[in-house]
Amino acid sequence: MIEDRLAAVIRFVDGNDGVSIARAAKQLGFSQSELLRLIVVLGEDRAMGGLGLIALQDENSRRLLRLTADGRDWLARNQ
C-alpha cells in the first residue's frame, strides 16, 4: 500500500538524516523515480500537495533528504 511506502520513507530518512536520493532508493528497494513520486507527497511543496514532512535540500550537487519538524512530529505520533 502507498501508506506503507510513505511511512517507510519517513522512517528511513529519520534514521539516515541527510541521505541522498540514490542511496535512499537503493536501501528502500525503490526506483529513484518511484522515490521521487513519494517525496512529492511527503515534501514541502504545498502547491504539489506535499505534506511538509520531508525536506529536499541541494548540497554540493547532491539532493539530500531530511525530516522537517512536522516529519519528526508525525513520527513521534506514529511509532
pLDDT of 9 > 90? The answer is yes
Number of domains the chain is built from: 1
Domain span at residue 65 reads 2-77
Using a cut of 0.95, tell me whether the model's pTM lies above it.
no
36-68: pLDDT as tens digits: 999 999 999 888 889 999 999 988 888 899 999
Q: What is the pLDDT of residue 69?
A: 96
Counting Cβ atoms within 10 Å, is residue 74 exposed (0-12), middle (13-18) or buried (19+)? Answer: buried
User: What's the one-letter identity of residue 24?
Assistant: A
Full 3-state SS string of 9-58: HHHHHHHCCCEEHHHHHHHHCCCHHHHHHHHHHHCCCHHHCCCCCEEEEE
**Residue 1 pLDDT class (50, 70, 90 cuts):** confident
Q: What's 45's domain CATH number?
A: 1.10.10.10
Q: What is the DSSP letter of 7?
A: H
Residues 55, 66: contact at Cβ < 8 Å? yes
